[in-house]
Amino acid sequence: MIFDSIFSDTSLTLQTALICSASSLLIGGVFGLIYRFTSKTRSKSLIFSLIFLPLAVQTVIIAVNGNIGAGIAVAGAFALVRFRSVPASAKEITLMFSDMALGLLVGSGYVTLAFLMLAVFALLYIALSFLPLTREADRVKKLKVTVPENLDYTTAFDDVFPL
């Protein structure tokens, strides 16, 4: 069948490892490019994460020899590292989980299914990115101000940000 695993037995060959690794990098690269061209706020570190995350997840799944429970636990730890470091938007979280799911498919040997799901995810993401789902009044801008620890900021910005 077209959606069968490429792992025919329990041994991993160099050829299947290279197919999985190249597929994971290609999938991650597509997700990185999609994010790059559809997002107004581009994070270089998120693009790098999107490119390498499927490879990392695929490597873990192969390393645990198909034990999906252990693989998902480790892949979840990868995701938590990203989400603890920088607050992410719901859009970025969705991309990261989709990216991890595709890496999980590749690591399980379902390369064809991973590419099919990549097409589905990509088309949905692109379509939803350009739909006007919010009203203009609902859009909110976020301003971040970084201040030194020793600054008494309780009154420092009163003339700039009046209430």
Distance CA 50, CA 95 (A): 8
Give the global pTM: 0.68
pLDDT per residue, tens digit, the chain (163 aa), is 565 566 666 667 788 888 889 999 999 999 888 888 887 766 788 888 888 888 888 887 777 765 667 766 766 666 665 555 556 677 777 888 888 888 888 888 888 999 999 999 999 988 888 777 655 555 667 777 788 888 777 777 778 777 6
In a domain, 103, yes or no: yes
Q: Identify whether 142 is part of a domain.
A: no
Structural domain contains residue 111:
yes
Do 25 and 55 touch, CB atoms closer than 8 A? yes
How many independent structural domains does the chain possess? 1
Tell me the DSSP string of the chain: -TTS-S--SSSPPHHHHHHHHHHHHHHHHHHHHHHHHH-SS--HHHHHHHHHHHHHHHHHHHHTTT-HHHHHHHHHHHHHHHHHHS---HHHHHHHHHHHHHHHHHHTT-HHHHHHHHHHHHHHHHHHHHS--S-GGG----------TTS-TTTTTTTTS--
Q: Would you say residue 26 lies in a domain? A: yes
Q: Domain residues for 122? A: 14-137
| Residue 154 located in a structural domain | no
Classify residue 2: in a domain, yes or no: no
Residue bearing tokens 């999980």: 104
Is residue 101 assigned to a domain? yes
- 93 lies in some domain: yes
Q: For residue 35, what pLDDT is reported?
A: 85
pLDDT at position 22 is 92
